Every structure is written in structure tokens, then in C-alpha cells.
Amino acid sequence: MKSASLALTFGLLASIASAAAPIRIDNPWSRATAPGQLVGGGFMTIVNVGAIPDRLVSATSPVADDVQIHHTSMDGGVMRMRQVTDGLEIPANGKVELKPRGLHLMFMQLKAPLEAGARFPVQLQFEKAGSVTTQFIVENH
């Protein structure tokens, strides 16, 4: 009885912790790609309406072999892109915008071109909120 009570208590605490950092995904989209293009970009706004910060740690999608978090910056007039390997912090009661020429997702080794009007799922893994799946729409930008 005591171990069942402890398990219930820990389960409730885990549920409360998950609910404490609710994540919302606004305007998830990707650019259409050309035939044979092996990479594509993903953009969205990640909103944390919770009172504690969270961290996007990874992403997956059936449209690509790998999904990476990237950051683009200018360095001496040269645009450079690098993978963000330690996750992306989403501040409490704040948001992070993933957009062209800034933070974004990279869909690596696309399995087929991303065609305008198509939709595809992306599963985002957060440190505290857990898994959040959203539908990206492909646009001609």
C-alpha cells in the first residue's frame, strides 16, 4: 500500500511538472524545395506559456533522415550556419522565433521534395514538456 501511494505521488508530481511548462507552436512552415534538393528549412514560433523555462532538445520527422536545430549568423560579411547541439532554451512566459537567416530547423537528407501546399508532421522533444507534434505546411516563400 505504501509503495502504491508513493508511486501515485511521484506520478502526480511528474504530471504537475509537465503541466508547469506548456508549450505552444505557432505558424509552423517550411519552404518548398527543388527536385533533388537534400535539405530543407523549418520555421515556427515556440511559445512557453508556463512559469518555468524549457528547452527544445531534438526534433524528428518522417520527411527526413535527420532533423537538426541550426543557427545562421553573419561573420565578416559571410553567412555561416552551425548546428545547435545543446538545445534551444525557451524562456518562461516567453517565445523563440525560428525564421529564415536565424534559428531554424534543418531537415537533412529529405526523402522527397517538399511541395507547396503539402503538410508533414514534426515531433519536437522538450526537456520538461516532453513530446509535442505539430504539422508543418510547405509554402512558396
How many other C-beta atoms are found inside a 10 Å radius of the C-beta of residue 112? Answer: 11
How many whole angstroms separate alpha carbon 128 and alpha carbon 115? 33
Q: How does pLDDT run across 19-69, given as a tens digit for each residue?
A: 444 999 999 999 999 999 999 999 999 999 999 999 999 999 999 999 999
Q: Which residue has the cell 522538450?
A: 126
Query: Residue 17's pLDDT is what?
Result: 45
The CATH number of the domain holding residue 93 is: 2.60.40.1890
Side chain identity at residue 73, one-letter code: S
- In-domain check, residue 14: no
How many whole angstroms separate alpha carbon 131 and alpha carbon 106? 18
- In-domain check, residue 1: no
- In-domain check, residue 31: yes
Helix (H, G, I), strand (E, B) or coil at 74: strand
Burial class (CB in 10 A: 0-12, 13-18, 19+), 58: middle
- In-domain check, residue 3: no
Global confidence as pTM: 0.82
Q: Residue 86, by phi and psi: left (phi above 0), alpha (psi -120 to 50) or beta? A: alpha
C-alpha closest to that of 50 among 27, 24, 28, 87: 24
Number of domains in the chain: 1
Residue 135: domain span: 21-139
- In-domain check, residue 45: yes
Side chain identity at residue 65, one-letter code: D
- In-domain check, residue 11: no
- In-domain check, residue 51: yes
Q: How does pLDDT run across 114-138, given as a tens digit for each residue?
A: 999 999 999 999 999 999 999 999 9
- In-domain check, residue 8: no
